[in-house]
């Protein structure tokens, strides 16, 4: 059975006070606008929106703690590795200004490991963190704030055909269902003495050894999909245009939200076309670094 | 003949990837207002017959079809599945596989939305359907928070809302507690009395006989072995194959020799003190969410020689309770000791060598290319010597009657066979304590009685615990019964102490069976609970 995300209605939630279609449209505008920039000054504007939405969402820290910590951890590690390797930002800057060079006290076959800390690398890491963090926070709020009973009608209301809209509804619920099935399989295999943390060997061997987890989960997902198709067929799905029981009506504030989203998007596109919002480092730091 | 809502003529079917036919020469007609009970062992073709009637065969399941099916005189071969589904409603064995909506309202309305009805009509039909099954109070609930019985009724409501004239029920009671099963059956009887044709596939024959089905079809190896009045069933079927009411078995068994007495848990009669607790629950409380407690203050000990049946309604916390014993869940307060060691200090894999746990659903654990490899997985993880593993696998396969399937892929077997593979996989680990969650669900009577007999006579186990909705399993096999309701241990004692109090059982949604009633009556003579065959010779 498909399970849904942990949604509940929350009093005074900013995000839940809007029609879900309006919110999805705003989210789309936010996403593409954020992706248009690498300048951390611009990105901070989007981070501020994301934080505002998070703090006014009514989602409690307890509910979201694990997800937020995961995101912060993931984004931090991601940005840090980009900083260490110096890769990822090289398309955005041509010249680097060295702040400090850290050299290892040993050499390997004549090569001495070294880390160049440059203004560009450091600031690229910061920009990347702000960019991904803003998008991730806005994304993670969707399942907590969108009523699962309205997934289908929301996508239908956004202009998708009936079948695609219902498929989107099912897809949205696939992730928590997959997670539940994975946990059940993990428990069942642990009860047979399987210890994931003790898996050793080369990469191929390790992949083979997670077969007891991945095979049942995958087979379950396939069988589950067939069951869903049977259940839908047995209740006349797809025979013609369907009625969606729930009805969504735009209110003025929904139209305002869509307007604000579109304005941000158009403005962002315009700035981007004019060459503004590209990767930026504070000139003062360049001076300090001897640039 | 053409007045019958459903006519099946010379129907046969062979699945595309199989050599043998699943059903052969099936012919019958079903009347309006009739309940036709379809019984038979696992793999006898009951579900295939249902799939042929509801149109999933040959549309979703490909193969060779012979014969024809007429619904209100119209051949289904020429009908679209969507057209059939408006005349034939199907409720699957597991409501979890059927429910699509996140809310009860959406679930019941799903078919009506697909028919493109107006919102007003949809709301009206949903309300009617819910009222019919007396579950209006569930209308705005989340479907995944419903109990098993509630899910089954919601699935039924979703089908009824489409106003079919024929209703197919494929083992609708398999996952239900006795009280929910009784409520579902009552609802089905009412529907038939209102003129609906009902075909019900069910292993729990005795339960269905309570609502007086008009006829019974008994299938074996893809063919009809008996079709006729209920009274005739007990004359033609082997009472070891189909679970009949206890009084009927007693009458039949009087003519046969007395059954051999089984020696339960011979391994528990060792030199170790019987008072030593293998597992101890000390004031255990637990909740999945920080503010909602599911288990409250559980105290109990599992000792050598215990064969414990855990009874209680759907959603009462039985599985949650048992998962603490293997350390899959850790108590929020209190502690669980296995072999004297706190489960918080042991990994599940460590506990698995002492306590083997058979999960409810086999599909969450089967992965290996052959049954043999599947069974070797646990013992290999526990680092048993290779030559011992070979013996353990063979022995486990013999117990569950699957020796001939050793080289088959477990995922290609039927549900009942997969369930037996999952039990064998744990048996092969040779743990000291065996815990099984609903071991008989979806199994036919003869198979589960055979493997329960065999498991309890195994020399390796010191204690066995099983969760079940089948009261008779507790009556026949348990020497101790735990009654769980609302996360509390309501009763803990010998079967006679716990099960003779019918009002307490009913409060815990456990419906006394004919075998239990017979045993309670005969207890002054027998001094213990016995299976019906044994009662025949007392």
pLDDT, one tens digit per residue, over A228-281 is: 888 898 898 988 899 999 999 999 999 999 999 999 999 999 999 998 988 888
Q: Calculate what percentage of chain A has a pLDDT beyond 70.
A: 95
Question: What's the pLDDT score for residue B263?
Answer: 80
A281 occurs within a structural domain: yes
Q: What is the mean pLDDT of residues B255-266?
A: 84
B327/B364 Cα distance (integer angstroms): 18
B35/B214 Cα distance (integer angstroms): 5
Which of A38-42, B176-180, B183-187, B448-452 is the least confident region?
Answer: B176-180
Q: Do residue A194 and residue B377 have CB atoms under 8 angstroms apart?
A: yes
Name the token pair of B404: 């001939």
B271/B281 Cα distance (integer angstroms): 24
Cis status of the peptide bond prior to B58, with omega within 30 of 0: yes
β-partners of residue B480 are: B308
Range of A77's domain? 15-288
Per-position b or e across B207-229, b if 16+ CB within 10 A of its CB: bbbbbebebbbbbbebebebbee
Instruction: Pick from A193, A197, A214 the residue to mutate for testing the B interface (most B CBs within 10 Å).
Output: A193
A234 occurs within a structural domain: yes
CA distances from A202 to A199, A207, A208, B380 (A): 10, 9, 10, 20
Confidence of residue A199 (pLDDT cuts 50, 70, 90): low
A7 occurs within a structural domain: no
Which residue, chain included where needed, has tokens 């203050």? B297
Q: Do residue B56 and residue A188 have CB atoms under 8 angstroms apart?
A: no
Question: What's the pLDDT score for residue A1?
Answer: 67
Chain B residues 288-307 with CB within 8 Å of chain A: 290
A8 occurs within a structural domain: no
Confidence of residue B271 (pLDDT cuts 50, 70, 90): low
Q: Do residue B411 and residue A190 have CB atoms under 8 angstroms apart?
A: no
For the four alpha carbons of B415, B417, B418 and B419, in that order, the dihedral sign comes to positive
Q: Do residue B365 and residue A185 have CB atoms under 8 angstroms apart?
A: yes
Name the token pair of B464: 């066995």
The residues, any chain, with a CB within 8 Å of residue B219's CB and separated by 6 or more, are B23, B38, B39, B40, B44, B45, B46, B49, B225
Name the token pair of A28: 């789309």
Question: What's the pLDDT score for residue B531?
Answer: 92
A54 occurs within a structural domain: yes
Q: Please name each of the domains of chain B with its CATH number.
A: 6-99+164-237 (3.40.50.300), 266-493 (3.40.50.300)
Question: What's the pLDDT score for residue A158?
Answer: 94
Confidence of residue B407 (pLDDT cuts 50, 70, 90): very high
Residue B414 near chain A (CB below 8 Å) = no
Please say if the pLDDT value at position B226 is more than 80.
Answer: yes
B111/B159 Cα distance (integer angstroms): 8
* H or E element in which residue B114 lies: helix B104-114
The secondary structure of B490-524 as a DSSP string is: EEEE-HHHHHT-HHHHHHTT-PPPHHHHHHHHHHH
Please say if the pLDDT value at position B207 is more than 70.
Answer: yes
Q: Do residue B349 and residue A195 have CB atoms under 8 angstroms apart?
A: yes
Per-position b or e across A212-239, b if 16+ CB within 10 A of its CB: bbebbbebbeeebeebbebbbbbbbbeb
Residue B326 near chain A (CB below 8 Å) = yes
Question: What's the pLDDT score for residue B270?
Answer: 58
**Per-residue pLDDT tens digits for B14-71:** 998 788 899 999 999 999 999 999 998 877 899 899 999 999 999 888 999 999 999 9
Question: What's the pLDDT score for residue A36?
Answer: 94
Q: Do residue A181 and residue B142 have CB atoms under 8 angstroms apart?
A: no
The residues, any chain, with a CB within 8 Å of residue B238's CB and separated by 6 or more, are B446
Question: What's the pLDDT score for residue A291?
Answer: 57
Q: What is the 3-state secondary structure (H, E, C) of B14-75?
A: EECCCCCCCEEEEEEEECCCCEEEEEECCCCCHHHHHHHHHCHHHHCCCEEEEEEEEECCEE
* Whole-prediction pTM: 0.80
B222/B26 Cα distance (integer angstroms): 8
The secondary structure of B316-343 as a DSSP string is: SSHHHHHHHHTTSS--SEEEEEETTEEG
**Per-residue pLDDT tens digits for B370-396:** 999 999 999 999 999 999 999 999 999
**Per-residue pLDDT tens digits for B272-331:** 555 678 999 999 999 887 778 889 999 999 999 999 999 998 878 898 999 999 999 999
A242 occurs within a structural domain: yes
Question: What's the pLDDT score for residue B272?
Answer: 52
Question: What's the pLDDT score for residue B213?
Answer: 96
B344/B336 Cα distance (integer angstroms): 8
The residue that leads in pLDDT, B276 or A9, is A9
The angle subtended at Cα B435 by Cα B312 and Cα B385, nearest 5°, is 170
Q: What is the mean pLDDT of residues B521-535?
A: 93
Confidence of residue B92 (pLDDT cuts 50, 70, 90): confident
Which residue, chain included where needed, has tokens 């209102």? B194
Question: What's the pLDDT score for residue A27?
Answer: 97
Residue of A nearest to B378 (CA): A192
On whether the CB atoms of residues A111 and A92 are closer than 8 A, the answer is: no
Complete edge-to-edge strand list for the sheet that includes strand B341-342: B295-303, B277-286, B333-338, B341-342
Confidence of residue B446 (pLDDT cuts 50, 70, 90): confident
Please give, rounded to a whole number of angstroms, the shortest distance from the CA of A148 to a CA of chain B: 6
A211 occurs within a structural domain: yes
On whether the CB atoms of residues B217 and B36 are closer than 8 A, the answer is: yes
Name the token pair of B231: 């009274």
Q: Which residues of B touch A248 (CB under 8 A)?
A: none
End-to-end C-alpha distance for chain A, whole angstroms = 61
Question: What's the pLDDT score for residue A175?
Answer: 83
Instruction: Pick from A163, A209, A236, A246 the residue to mutate for testing the B interface (most B CBs within 10 Å).
Output: A236
Residue B91 near chain A (CB below 8 Å) = no
Total domains, chain A: 1
Instruction: Pick from B364, B382, B423 the residue to mutate for testing the A interface (most A CBs within 10 Å).
Output: B364
A2 occurs within a structural domain: no
């Amino acid at each position: 059975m498909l399970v849904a995300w942990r949604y509940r209605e929350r009093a005074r939630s900013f995000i839940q006070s809007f029609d879900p279609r309006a919110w999805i449209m705003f989210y789309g505008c936010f996403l593409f606008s954020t992706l248009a920039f690498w300048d951390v000054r611009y990105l901070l504007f989007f981070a501020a929106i994301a934080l505002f939405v998070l703090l006014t969402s009514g989602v409690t820290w307890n509910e979201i703690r694990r997800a937020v910590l995961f995101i912060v951890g993931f984004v931090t590690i991601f940005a840090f590795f980009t900083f260490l390797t110096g890769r990822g930002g090289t398309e955005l800057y041509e010249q680097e200004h060295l702040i400090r060079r850290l050299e290892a006290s040993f050499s390997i076959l004549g090569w001495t490991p070294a880390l160049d800390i440059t203004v560009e690398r450091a600031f690229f890491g910061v920009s990347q963190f702000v960019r991904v963090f803003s998008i991730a926070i806005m994304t993670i709020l969707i399942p907590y704030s969108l009523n699962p009973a309205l997934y289908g009608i929301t996508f239908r209301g956004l202009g998708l055909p009936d079948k695609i809209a219902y498929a989107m509804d099912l897809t949205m619920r696939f992730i928590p269902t997959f997670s539940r099935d994975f946990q059940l399989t993990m428990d069942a295999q642990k009860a047979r003495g399987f210890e994931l943390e003790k898996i050793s060997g080369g990469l191929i061997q390790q992949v083979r050894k997670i077969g007891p987890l991945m095979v049942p989960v995958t087979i379950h997902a396939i069988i589950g999909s067939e069951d869903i198709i049977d259940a839908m067929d047995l209740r006349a799905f797809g025979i013609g245009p369907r009625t969606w029981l729930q009805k969504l009506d735009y209110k003025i504030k929904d139209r305002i939200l869509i307007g604000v989203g579109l304005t941000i998007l158009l403005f962002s596109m315009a700035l981007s076309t004019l060459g503004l919002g590209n990767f930026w480092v504070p000139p003062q730091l360049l001076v300090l670094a001897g640039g | 003949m053409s007045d019958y809502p459903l006519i099946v003529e010379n129907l046969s079917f062979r699945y595309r990837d199989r050599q043998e036919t699943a059903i052969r020469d099936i012919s019958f007609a079903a009347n309006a207002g009739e309940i036709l009970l379809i019984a038979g062992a696992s793999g006898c073709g009951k579900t295939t017959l249902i799939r042929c009637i509801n149109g999933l065969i040959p549309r979703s399941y490909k193969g060779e079809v012979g014969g024809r099916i007429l619904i209100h005189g119209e051949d289904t071969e020429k009908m679209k599945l969507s057209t059939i589904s408006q005349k034939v409603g199907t409720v699957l064995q597991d409501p979890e596989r059927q429910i699509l909506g996140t809310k009860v309202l959406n679930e019941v309305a799903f078919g009506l939305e697909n028919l493109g009805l107006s919102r007003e009509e949809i709301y009206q039909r949903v309300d009617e359907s819910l009222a019919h099954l007396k579950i209006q109070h569930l209308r705005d609930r989340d479907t995944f928070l419903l109990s098993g019985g509630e899910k089954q009724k919601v699935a039924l409501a979703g089908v009824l809302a489409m106003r079919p004239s024929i209703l197919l029920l494929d083992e609708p009671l398999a996952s239900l507690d006795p009280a929910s099963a009784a409520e579902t059956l009552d609802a089905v009887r009412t529907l038939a009395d209102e003129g609906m044709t009902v075909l019900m596939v069910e292993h729990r024959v005795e339960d269905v006989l309570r609502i007086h089905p008009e006829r019974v079809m008994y299938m074996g190896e893809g063919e009809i072995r008996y079709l006729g009045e209920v009274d005739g069933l007990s004359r033609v079927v082997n009472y070891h194959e189909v679970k009949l009411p206890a009084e009927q078995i007693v009458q039949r068994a009087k003519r046969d020799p007395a059954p051999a007495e089984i020696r339960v848990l011979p391994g528990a009669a060792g030199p170790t003190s019987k008072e030593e607790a293998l597992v101890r629950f000390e004031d255990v409380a637990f909740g999945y969410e920080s503010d909602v407690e599911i288990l409250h203050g559980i105290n109990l000990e599992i000792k050598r020689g215990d064969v414990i049946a855990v009874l209680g309604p759907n959603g009462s916390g039985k599985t949650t309770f048992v998962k603490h014993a293997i350390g899959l869940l850790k108590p929020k307060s209190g502690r669980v000791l296995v072999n004297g060691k706190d489960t918080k200090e042991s990994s599940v894999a460590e506990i698995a060598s002492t306590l083997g746990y058979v999960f409810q659903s086999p599909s969450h654990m089967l992965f290996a290319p052959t049954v043999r490899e599947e069974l070797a997985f646990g013992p290999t993880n526990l680092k048993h010597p290779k030559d011992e593993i070979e013996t353990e696998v063979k022995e486990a396969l013999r117990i569950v009657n699957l020796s001939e399937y050793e080289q088959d892929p477990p995922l290609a077997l039927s549900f009942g066979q997969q369930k037996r593979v999952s039990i064998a996989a744990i048996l092969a680990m040779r743990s000291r304590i065996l815990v099984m969650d609903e071991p008989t669900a979806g199994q036919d009577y003869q198979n589960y009685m055979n493997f329960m007999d065999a498991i309890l006579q195994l020399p390796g186990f010191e204690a066995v615990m099983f969760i079940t909705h089948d009261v008779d399993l507790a009556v026949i096999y348990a020497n101790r019964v735990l009654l769980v309701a609302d996360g509390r241990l309501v009763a803990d004692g010998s079967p006679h102490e716990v099960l003779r109090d019918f009002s307490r059982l009913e409060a815990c949604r456990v419906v006394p069976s004919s075998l239990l009633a017979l045993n309670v009556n005969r207890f002054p003579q027998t001094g213990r609970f016995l299976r019906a065959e044994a009662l025949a010779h007392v």
